[in-house]
Amino acid sequence: MTETHRQQLAAKPKPTQWSKKEILGHLIDSALCNLRRFTEIHIKPKPYQILDYPQDELVLANDYQRVEPKDLTLLWVYLNKQIIHVIKQQTEKTLQIQAKLPNQKSTTLLFLINDYLDHLEHHVKQIVGS
């Protein structure tokens, strides 16, 4: 990877906005959070309570800005491979397991999975510029 490419990945559009590396870091945090949700929903009391997570604080605490892009990418890929594995194990019945969002609205595991995939697509487009 060239130094120019490294600089592009670390560049912040505005001081208060995430760089592409930080967006990828946010996707890592999201993957960790959602992997936990997608598995805990089967073993915790119903309806499963979805907890919000402090995304800005996690990006800062993990200091993604100073992590090698290759390491971020590998971690993100392997987390999502496990998420894919967990999703493939679901049945029509398990996809209907009930959950409550932080705002206390009711939802299902199916919604949570689709929401994760939409969120993932949104941020990947930010990174690749599409």
The answer to whether domain 3-10+18-128 has CATH 1.20.120.450 is: yes
Do 95 and 86 form a contact (C-beta atoms < 8 A)? Answer: no
Q: Report domain extents, the chain.
A: 3-10+18-128
Do 75 and 28 form a contact (C-beta atoms < 8 A)? Answer: yes
Mean pLDDT of 81-101: 98
8-state DSSP, 130: -
Residues 100-113 pLDDT 10s: 999 999 999 999 99
Do 13 and 3 form a contact (C-beta atoms < 8 A)? Answer: no
The confidence band for 130, taking pLDDT boundaries of 50, 70 and 90, is low
Do 102 and 51 form a contact (C-beta atoms < 8 A)? Answer: yes
